[in-house]
């Protein structure tokens, strides 16, 4: 090869590298669009229903302007927000904390795997290779609850083209299956997906070819690690080593006042991509659904594991955005029954790490630190994802190109707009963490019973609306249990009450907000439901299997075929 040919080949290689980087960036943008769905899917009805949540409240009669000054508070109270400052070890929950809780303590290994994945190939232990016949099949996700299974293939015939691989070995002599195992890997197709059919992208790629190598953008990785059902206080008290290494070694910014925007989450799991595809930008989501979901003390034992993970990967994650976070706090149990637990339920944790080059940007970090002290929601988190994905230079966040993306929040990378109240941020009234005055109501009994019966009737109507009356028992107010009623901001004269009831036959405990209405012309009292849903405070697994396909009423329904059976449940799943 002569000098000219060598020079041409070098230039061609550079062009291919630039083209590959541009494609990787576009792929990342597209993956972001798909990844963001997991936030929007949590609240697919929320977008249309949140405004009515507040509109219902605002339809009340205006306050009497001739009343004393201290009583002139009105609906403006909904536009204010005093943020809570919680003690992770508050005296009302301290007795329920158990740092020694470890479900793996004294765990004895019962299964010795004779199969493993090595460089994408199924390998069988040599001691069993000649006395068994082993096969594998791929498991592909279809929905949250269903899989698609490939056909079985001999382990020596080919390599699995999937992330989740099931291996089964049978005795060569008897044909009896004696080994079944699931393996996980990151399957990398030989040819990466491209968008060469997009003329616009082709033009951008052509423009990139003449850019000097030193000016090529260096897109960062993005890793979302989500632990289901963990509050800001819980992660602080349960994972001290992890939060310390994130703050001190990674420069992580903890967001103290994230407010959930929906009741619960849809459990999803995605493979972790750390340390794979070293030359391409990566986007990963790891959603850990069961680690802490059913136990407020379920996080203590994993602190050391997360600490080791972040310590080991420190160098590899220098050019990464890391979102260690949750979707909501613990939704039921002893801690949730306290006032502190109510706030924790609505306050999921979020630690945000930005690439090292961003940490050297003083103005950028000042805005980020300031925003971390404000009321935010995961609509803001999603807006941050969009900015990362659409930031074409990856070195500046000044020019955000949103395209056709509809945002209901604001990126953390700029000073957040005001006002920041639950109403302005589209946070449902019943999940708002802003601190308002709530005064216990002790009477008259006629009012207590009336509003309690109204809440139960609303639950029964939910069953009716979902066509489940033939499967679910009619719920009745448990009169042996006190109906707890608290008036919301009495001086505002909104006549809103937080009501907690227990029902039969399920033993379910539910709460919600209702508004009292008085008709002067008929001299009658009625109630309006303010809450979009009535969350359940205790577990219900097994009570609603007859309507398991309808998550709207699974917490409410008590299947008729269970009447007379025990009510004690251990989980919401």
pLDDT at 261 over 60: yes
311-368 confidence digits (pLDDT tens): 999 999 999 999 999 989 888 888 988 999 999 999 999 999 999 999 999 999 999 9
Is 39 inside any structural domain?
Answer: no
35 falls within a domain: no
| Interstrand relation of 164-171 and 177-184 (parallel, antiparallel or unpaired) | antiparallel
Average pLDDT, the chain: 80
For residues 44 and 352, the model is more confident at 352
Q: Are 415 and 364 in contact (CB under 8 A)?
A: no
Same domain, 153 and 62: no
Q: Kindly indicate the confidence band of residue 404, based on its pLDDT and cuts at 50, 70 and 90.
A: low
Closest among 372, 453, 469 to 420, alpha carbons compared = 372
Q: Are residues 176 and 64 in the same domain?
A: no
pLDDT of residue 248: 97
Q: Residues 139, 140, 146, 152: is their CA dihedral positive or negative?
A: negative
| 75 lies in the same domain as 136 | no
Which among 148, 166, 184 is the end of a domain?
A: 184
In this prediction, residue 566 carries a pLDDT of 53
Task: Kindly state whether residues 556 and 457 are assigned to the same domain.
Answer: yes
Omega into 275 within 30° of 0, i.e. cis? no
Sign of the dihedral defined by the CA atoms of residues 342, 420, 261, 381, in that order: negative
pLDDT at 528: 94
Q: Which of the listed ranges 310-314, 382-386, 425-429 does the model predict with the highest average pLDDT?
A: 310-314
At residue 70, does pLDDT exceed 50? Answer: no
Is 317 within 8 Å of 221 (Cβ atoms)? Answer: yes
pLDDT of residue 542: 87
Q: What is the reported pTM?
A: 0.76
Is residue 260 domain-resident?
no
Residue 557: CB partners within 8 Å, gap ≥ 6? 463, 468, 471, 472, 473, 543, 544, 546, 547
| Residue 511 included in any domain | yes
| Residue 481 included in any domain | yes
Number of continuous H segments (helices) and E segments (strands) in the chain: 13, 20
Residue 222: exposed, middle, or buried by beta-carbon count in 10 A (0-12, 13-18, 19+)? buried
Q: In whole angstroms, what is the distance from residue 21 CA to residue 173 CA?
A: 53
Q: Which among 355, 311, 348, 312 has a CA at the least distance from the CA of 330?
A: 348
Give alpha helix (H) positions in 68-122.
none
Confirm whether 305 is domain-assigned: no
pLDDT of residue 191 exceeding 60, the answer is: no
Same domain, 65 and 146: no
Could you give the C-alpha distances from 551 to 170, 179, 468, 571, in angstroms and in order? Answer: 40, 36, 12, 15
The predicted pLDDT at position 68 comes to: 40
DSSP, collapsed to helix, strand or coil, labels residue 317 as helix
Q: What's the domain count of the chain?
A: 2
Q: Express each pLDDT in 492-541 by its tens digit.
A: 888 999 999 999 999 999 999 999 998 888 888 899 999 988 999 888 88
> Which pLDDT score, from 0 to 100, does residue 263 have?
67
Q: Which of 127-141, 216-230, 233-247 has the lowest mean pLDDT?
A: 216-230
Classify residue 81: in a domain, yes or no: yes
Q: Beta strand pairing status for 376-377 and 258-259?
A: parallel
Q: Which domain holds residue 152?
A: 121-184
Angstrom distances, CA of residue 220 to CA of 24, 182, 209, 223, 321: 11, 32, 20, 10, 7
Q: Quote helix, strand, coil % in the chain, to nearest 5.
A: 30, 20, 50
Instruction: Point out the domain boundary residue: 135, 153, 184.
Output: 184
36 vs 325, more confident: 325
């Amino acid at each position: 090869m002569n000098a000219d040919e060598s020079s041409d080949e070098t230039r061609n290689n550079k062009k291919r590298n630039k083209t590959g980087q541009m494609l990787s960036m576009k792929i990342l943008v597209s993956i972001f669009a798909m990844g963001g769905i997991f936030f929007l899917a949590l609240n697919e009805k929320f977008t249309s229903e949140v405004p009515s949540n507040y509109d219902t409240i605002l339809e009340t009669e205006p306050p009497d302007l001739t009343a004393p000054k201290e009583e002139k508070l009105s609906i403006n109270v909904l536009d204010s927000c005093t943020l809570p400052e919680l003690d992770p070890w508050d005296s009302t929950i301290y007795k329920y904390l158990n740092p020694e809780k470890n479900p793996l303590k004294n765990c004895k290994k019962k299964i010795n795997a004779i199969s493993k994945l090595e460089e994408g190939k199924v390998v069988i232990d040599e001691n069993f290779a000649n006395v068994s016949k082993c096969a594998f099949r791929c498991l592909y996700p279809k929905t949250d609850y269903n899989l698609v299974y490939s056909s079985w293939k001999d382990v020596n015939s080919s390599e699995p083209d999937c992330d989740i691989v099931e291996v089964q070995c049978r005795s060569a002599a008897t044909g009896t299956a004696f080994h079944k195992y699931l393996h996980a890997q990151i399957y990398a197709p030989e040819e990466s997906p491209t968008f060469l059919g997009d003329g616009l992208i082709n033009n951008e790629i052509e423009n990139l070819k003449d850019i000097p190598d030193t000016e090529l953008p260096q897109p960062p990785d993005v890793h979302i690690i989500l632990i289901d059902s963990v509050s800001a206080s819980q992660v602080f008290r349960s994972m001290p080593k992890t939060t310390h290494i994130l703050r001190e070694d990674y420069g992580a910014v903890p967001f103290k006042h994230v407010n959930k925007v929906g009741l619960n989450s849809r459990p999803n799991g995605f493979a972790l991509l750390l340390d794979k595809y070293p030359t391409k930008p990566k986007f990963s989501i790891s959603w850990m659904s069961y680690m802490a979901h059913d136990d407020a003390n379920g996080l203590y034992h994993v602190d050391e594991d997360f600490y080791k993970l972040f310590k080991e990967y420190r160098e590899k994650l220098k050019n990464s955005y890391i979102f260690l976070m949750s979707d909501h706090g613990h939704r039921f149990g002893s801690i949730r029954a306290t006032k502190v637990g109510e706030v924790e339920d609505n306050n999921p944790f979020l630690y945000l790490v930005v690439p090292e080059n961003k940490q050297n940007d003083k103005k950028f970090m000042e805005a980020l630190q300031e925003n971390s002290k404000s009321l935010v929601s995961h609509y803001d988190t999603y807006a941050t994802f969009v900015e990362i994905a659409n930031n074409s230079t990856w070195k500046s966040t000044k020019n955000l190109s949103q395209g056709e993306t509809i945002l209901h929040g604001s990126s953390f990378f700029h000073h957040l707009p005001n006002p920041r109240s639950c109403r302005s941020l589209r946070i449902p009234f019943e999940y708002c963490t802003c601190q308002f005055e709530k005064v216990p109501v002790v009477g008259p009994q006629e009012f207590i019973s009336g509003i309690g019966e109204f809440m139960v009737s609303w639950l029964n109507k939910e069953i009716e609306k979902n066509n489940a009356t033939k499967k679910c028992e009619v719920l009745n107010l448990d009169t042996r249990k006190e109906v707890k009623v608290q008036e919301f901001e009495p001086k505002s004269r909104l006549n809103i009450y937080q009501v907690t009831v227990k029902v039969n036959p399920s033993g379910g405990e539910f709460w919600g907000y209702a508004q009292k209405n008085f008709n002067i012309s008929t001299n009658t009292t009625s109630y309006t439901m303010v809450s979009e849903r009535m969350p359940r405070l205790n577990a219900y697994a097994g009570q609603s299997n007859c309507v398991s396909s309808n998550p709207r009423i699974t917490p409410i329904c008590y299947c008729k075929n269970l009447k007379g059976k025990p009510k004690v449940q251990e989980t919401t799943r």
